[in-house]
Amino acid sequence: MQISPAEKKLLGFIASQPAKSCTLKKAVADKSLSLNQDQLLALAEKLKLAGFIYLHTDESEQYSYTNEGWQASKTGLAETRLLMAAKSGPVPISSLDVQTRSFGIAAAKKSGWILIEAGSVVLTPVGQQALAKKEYISLPSNEQEISSIKKEHRAELIRRGLIVSKTHISNATLSISPSGEAAARETAVDAIGAIDRPMLLDGSWKGKPLARYDVHSHVPSALGARRHPISRLRTRICDIFSQMGFEQMDGPLVESSFWNFDALFQPQDHPARDLADTFYLNEKSVLPDSSLVSKVKDAHQKGWQYSWQSSDAMQQVLRTHTTAVSARSLYAHSKDKSAKKFFSVGKVFRNEATDYKHLAEFFQVEGIIAWEGANFTHLLGTLKEFYSKLGFEKIRFRPSYFPYTEPSLEIEVFHEGKKEWLELGGAGIFRPEVSIPLCNKYPVLAWGLSLERPLMLSSNTPDIRTLYRNDLEWLRNFPTSSR
């Protein structure tokens, strides 16, 4: 291995210490190295990978509020304020502030705390229990106390963009290995690693020692190339849908809010459009045909009872779901009266913190069947056939809610290893407010499925981030027979 001058200096410094080791703080304090903590850690990681040193770090997670988080720590979360307001009795929705109305209601309903009755918010028994036992998220006024919040609550606050986390290295110990000691002795002399043309011409190589050439190769034996498991699964999914008679559809990654939200009957004050979930861009998009825009506007103003704004629909976003592709395809084939079946496998983006089961960028498997003779049974049969072909034997459906389908369901498969049912996606029938303006058809069956999660289940991969790490050893050992 060719050692850089900075690495040579750090290696020599560690070797010169009495115990052949030192703390990171001591290395930073040594003026001869002239390096800060981050630079020293980067060099230490390289030397560790080369087997020259041992590196032990003491790490801790530190949390801090975002601007929105600081505000929430003073006023409380929207759903918590709603919970407190409703403890004395029903609260008229009209009396709530905009944030509580737009986000607090949705979050409280998701937790099962409230019901909407006669235009008022009413606590459920679950909400009364959460209030009595203080099961809601309480934000401390001091950032140092954020770490005391329950782990699952911290994950939710990170997802909502209220707090951020950073790994803090309080200290590190650098110890030299036997091979590092040998390398330190060799590099102590200003030896020449390679003789180049200028040295030959000016003779500067004469009389200088040459660095020993390592004839022992540590390069792993050459192995044949393999396709990434995600690429293999994408191809397999495409083959299954093609065999089932579906056509493939595609759409842009940068999408307008019109196609991503408005065409799918999501109101413009819906929490899903919030910055906590969506990546917005500074550019504006051109709206499609005015007749379609007019139909979508009418559907919103009649269905949601608010003033629809074209400026909001023009905002550009990184698409949050491939359902935007379905909306475009329905409109593109609106003049074709024959039955249509489409699918897509594409990237989507969500502005949320990554953890063992969440990513900010991931694949979604989308599908639609536009046929006036279709019914809910056809939807269940199609999904069951797809997952059966994918290799899952135990499949079930349960009722759910999505803003642009009614009725709606979630698909679950049974994981033999975990002995539990796991959700893999959502589906339903597009509401008339979605499909009628786009293609003047009803019903349209639709679904959005996960790609990474089935791969995790079939390969017993506990952390979704593993699928995207550049780990060649993991890739070589990945079973080719995995679903």
Q: Which residue has the higher pLDDT, 234 or 11?
A: 234
Domain co-membership, 154 together with 42 = no
Structural domains counted in the chain = 3
Domain co-membership, 238 together with 332 = yes
If phi > 0 it is left, if psi is from -120 to 50 it is alpha, else beta; for residue 302 that is alpha
Residue 154, pLDDT > 80, answer: yes
240: in domain:
yes
CA proximity to 298, closest of 177, 460, 437: 437
Question: Cα separation of 455 and 363, whole Å?
Answer: 12
Sign of CA pseudo-dihedral 95, 97, 98, 100: negative
Domain co-membership, 93 together with 242 = no
Domain co-membership, 275 together with 415 = yes
220: in domain:
no
Could you tell me the pTM of the whole model? 0.56
87: in domain:
yes
CA–CA distances in Å: residue 62 to residues 65, 169, 353: 11, 10, 15
Domain co-membership, 97 together with 135 = yes
Of 17-21, 210-214, 385-389, give the lowest mean pLDDT range.
210-214
Q: What's the confidence (pLDDT) of residue 420?
A: 78
Give me 382's structure tokens: 């199609």
pLDDT band at 356 (very low <50, low <70, confident <90, very high): confident
CA proximity to 100, closest of 71, 124, 80, 123: 80
Domain co-membership, 156 together with 173 = no
Question: Cα separation of 449 and 254, whole Å?
Answer: 20
Question: Cα separation of 231 and 228, whole Å?
Answer: 5
Rounded to an integer, what is the distance from CA 223 to the centroid of its chain? 31
214: in domain:
no
User: Backbone phi, then psi, for 207, in 5-degree steps?
Assistant: 80, 0
Give me the numbers of helices (H) and strands (E) for the chain, helices first please.
20, 16
pLDDT band at 253 (very low <50, low <70, confident <90, very high): very high
DSSP character string of 382-444: HHHHHHHHHT---EEEEEEEETTEEEEEEEEEEETTTTEEEEEEEEEEE-HHHHHHHHS-S-E
Residue 214, pLDDT > 60, answer: no
Q: What's the confidence (pLDDT) of residue 482?
A: 47
Give me 180's structure tokens: 């590092």
Of 157-161, 393-397, 428-432, give the lowest mean pLDDT range.
157-161
pLDDT band at 135 (very low <50, low <70, confident <90, very high): confident
Residue 101, pLDDT > 80, answer: no
Length of the chain: 483
- CATH code of the domain containing 24: 1.10.10.10
Of 151-160, 342-351, 383-392, give the lowest mean pLDDT range.
151-160
Mean residue pLDDT of the chain comes to 85
Helix axes 323-332, 432-439, angle to 10 degrees: 40
Residue 481, pLDDT > 60, answer: no
Residue 360, pLDDT > 80, answer: yes
- CATH code of the domain containing 308: 3.30.930.10
If phi > 0 it is left, if psi is from -120 to 50 it is alpha, else beta; for residue 207 that is left
Question: Cα separation of 389 and 209, whole Å?
Answer: 66
Q: What mean pLDDT do residues 16-34 have?
A: 82
Residue 220, pLDDT > 60, answer: no
298: in domain:
yes
- Residue 178: strand, helix, or coil: helix
Domain co-membership, 115 together with 193 = no
Q: What mean pLDDT do residues 296-301 have?
A: 93
Q: Are strands 405-415 and 444-450 parallel, antiparallel or unpaired?
A: unpaired
SS (H, E, C) 17-47: CCCCEEEHHHHHHCCCCCCCHHHHHHHHHHH
Q: What's the confidence (pLDDT) of residue 106?
A: 82
Domain that holds residue 22: 5-62+167-202
Q: Which residue has the higher pLDDT, 481 or 194?
A: 194
Residue 189, pLDDT > 80, answer: no
Q: What is the pLDDT of residues 302-343, one digit of tens each?
A: 988 989 999 999 999 999 999 999 999 999 998 888 999 999
Residue 271, pLDDT > 50, answer: yes
Question: Cα separation of 253 and 319, whole Å?
Answer: 6
Q: Which residues contact 167 (CB under 8 A, 6 or more apart)?
A: 59, 60, 61, 62
Helix axes 37-49, 5-15, angle to 10 degrees: 90
Q: What mean pLDDT do residues 338-349 have?
A: 93
* Percent with pLDDT over 90 in the chain: 31
Q: What is the pLDDT of residues 416-443, one digit of tens each?
A: 767 778 888 899 999 999 999 999 999 9
Residue 248, pLDDT > 90, answer: yes
Give me 212's structure tokens: 């020993």
Domain co-membership, 57 together with 101 = no
212: in domain:
no
User: Backbone phi, then psi, for 399, in 5-degree steps?
Assistant: -60, 150
* Percent with pLDDT over 70 in the chain: 92
Residue 32, pLDDT > 50, answer: yes
Task: Give residue for tokens 């929430």.
Answer: 72
Question: Cα separation of 319 and 482, whole Å?
Answer: 30
- Residue 361: strand, helix, or coil: strand
pLDDT band at 183 (very low <50, low <70, confident <90, very high): confident
Domain co-membership, 391 together with 449 = yes
Beta bridge partners of 402: 405
152: in domain:
yes
Give me 449's structure tokens: 């499925």
307: in domain:
yes
Of 143-157, 179-193, 317-331, give the lowest mean pLDDT range.
179-193
Is residue 292 exposed (0-12), middle (13-18) or buried (19+ Cβ within 10 Å)? Answer: middle
Domain co-membership, 242 together with 176 = no
Residue 395, pLDDT > 60, answer: yes
Domain co-membership, 261 together with 377 = yes
Is residue 211 exposed (0-12), middle (13-18) or buried (19+ Cβ within 10 Å)? Answer: middle
Domain co-membership, 192 together with 98 = no
